[in-house]
Amino acid sequence: MYFNNGKDRTAPVTLYNLFTSVFAFVQFLTGCATLTGLIPVLLILPVRLKTKKYILHRLLQFLSFFIVYSIFGIKKKMIDRKKFDLSTPKIIVSNHQSHLDLTLILLLNPKIIVLTNDWVWNNPFYGFIVRFLDYHPISKGMEEIVDPLQKCVNDGYSILVFPEGHRTHDGKISRFHNGAVFLSEKLKLDILPVLIHGANHCMDRNEFLFATDRLQ
């Protein structure tokens, strides 16, 4: 199968990348279902709400790590990992190449709040998790989310922004919107840039299968 809706695929469908893709997708759905089911359990624990949320952030970090590193056919390399320093809260700014981008960043640190689109906020599979973890939809407007984000920053969380607003079509970085700079000024936080390279070759925005054969 070399075509997807009449267009050339990123890579032909093989048994290997089909198995890898299904395996990762099942892990993702199982992880989301597990974390969603844990939220009611966390809510009844006799500990502070922010502790409960941190526990789920930590579990989400583990899930992201497991998903990324269990896909053996894809090479991973972190450059200047030590510079990803969240010992103090920061505005994390990243380019947006693939559905994989979020897991690639969340596996680095549990104390990250993500600005999302409405479809993520309302997603039936993981929307409950997103809302419990204080992720915020950008459709509210940057001015409206400054105060709730300030509370997260006060608890030591950094804010992740994809300033392009959408995944790349061709791997090139699009024009950045100014929301990250606005939040940096309002929250008085430094900006920490992150560059993701190659994720779109692994999983094109128009594909639901990994192109592992291209990345051997």
Q: What would the pLDDT profile of 3-46 be if each residue is shown by its tens digit?
A: 444 455 556 677 777 788 888 888 889 999 999 999 999 999 99
**Single-letter amino acid code for the residue at 176:** F
pLDDT-derived band at 2, boundaries 50, 70, 90:
very low
Nearby residues of 163 by Cβ (< 8 Å), 6 or more positions away: 93, 176, 177, 178, 179, 180
> If DSSP codes are grouped into helix, strand and coil, which group holds residue 91?
strand
User: Could you tell me if 72 and 23 are in contact, meaning their C-beta atoms sit under 8 angstroms apart?
Assistant: no
Give the whole-angstrom CA distance, residue 92 versus residue 164.
13
User: Could you tell me if 179 and 92 are in contact, meaning their C-beta atoms sit under 8 angstroms apart?
Assistant: no
**Predicted TM-score (pTM) of this structure:** 0.85
pLDDT score at 8: 58
Q: What would the pLDDT profile of 144-185 be if each residue is shown by its tens digit?
A: 999 999 999 999 999 999 987 666 666 677 677 788 999 999
pLDDT score at 5: 47
